[in-house]
């Protein structure tokens, strides 16, 4: 059978699935829990060594070892901060998650369902939002936006992101 040169072109077309169709928004309580858990993890990894050094230094001052105790506490704090940042960057690059979001099974994606970049999460969700947080009551208003239908806080709207179940 010969090909008809006057026939309309034919192509195989497959339906493209909308990435948002499979994205289930994370529960408000899970998001709150992840935020609190991230804070606790940061506190334990970074501030706890500093606090322990502050407790040990006055005792060590009596024994002339205050400088050593302060240096060890500062070094432990620096190591904790580096490990925390490394883990957070690793998980954000891999799947848009912080340490706690990974533990609780939620992640940050763009509002169209595609992966959110490290730059978008770091700069827009954290740095810019942190600067705006200098405005009194902004953090409170930001948090109240979670009760909207879209479950997006102001920092989510700013970064064009949503938090979904992983």
For the chain, domain boundaries: 24-165
C-alpha to C-alpha distance for 83 and 79, rounded to whole angstroms:
6
Residue 93 pLDDT greater than 70, yes or no = yes
> What is the pTM assigned to this prediction?
0.80
- Residue 123 has a pLDDT of 94
When pLDDT is averaged across residues 22-31 and rounded to a whole number, the result is 91
Residue 61 pLDDT greater than 90, yes or no = no
DSSP per-residue string spanning 93-108: HHHS--HHHHHHTEEE
Question: Is the Cβ–Cβ distance between 41 and 100 less than 8 Å?
Answer: yes
Q: Which stretches of 6-153 are assigned E, i.e. beta strand?
A: 106-110
Q: Which stretches of the chain are assigned E, i.e. beta strand?
A: 106-110, 161-165
3-state helix, strand, coil in the chain (%, to 5): 65, 5, 30
Percent of the chain's residues with pLDDT above 90: 68
Per residue in 82-91, pLDDT (tens digit) is 999 999 999 9
When pLDDT is averaged across residues 144-155 and rounded to a whole number, the result is 92
- Residue 11 has a pLDDT of 84
Mean confidence (pLDDT) of the chain: 89
């Amino acid at each position: 059978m010969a090909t008809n040169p006057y026939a309309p072109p034919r192509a195989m077309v497959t339906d493209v699935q909308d990435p948002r169709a499979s994205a289930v928004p994370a529960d408000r309580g899970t998001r709150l829990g992840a935020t609190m858990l991230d804070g606790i993890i940061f506190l334990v990894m970074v501030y706890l060594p500093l606090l322990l050094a502050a407790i040990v230094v006055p005792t060590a001052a009596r024994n002339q070892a205050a400088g050593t105790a302060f240096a060890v506490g500062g070094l432990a704090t620096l190591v904790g901060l580096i490990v925390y940042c490394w883990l957070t960057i690793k998980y954000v690059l891999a799947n848009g998650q912080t340490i706690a979001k990974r533990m609780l099974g939620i992640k940050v994606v763009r509002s169209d369902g595609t992966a959110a970049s490290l730059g978008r999460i770091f700069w827009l969700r954290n740095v810019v939002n942190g600067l705006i947080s200098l405005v009194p009551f902004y953090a409170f208003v930001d948090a109240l936006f979670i009760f909207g239908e879209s479950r997006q806080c102001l920092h989510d709207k700013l970064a064009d992101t949503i938090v979904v179940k992983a």
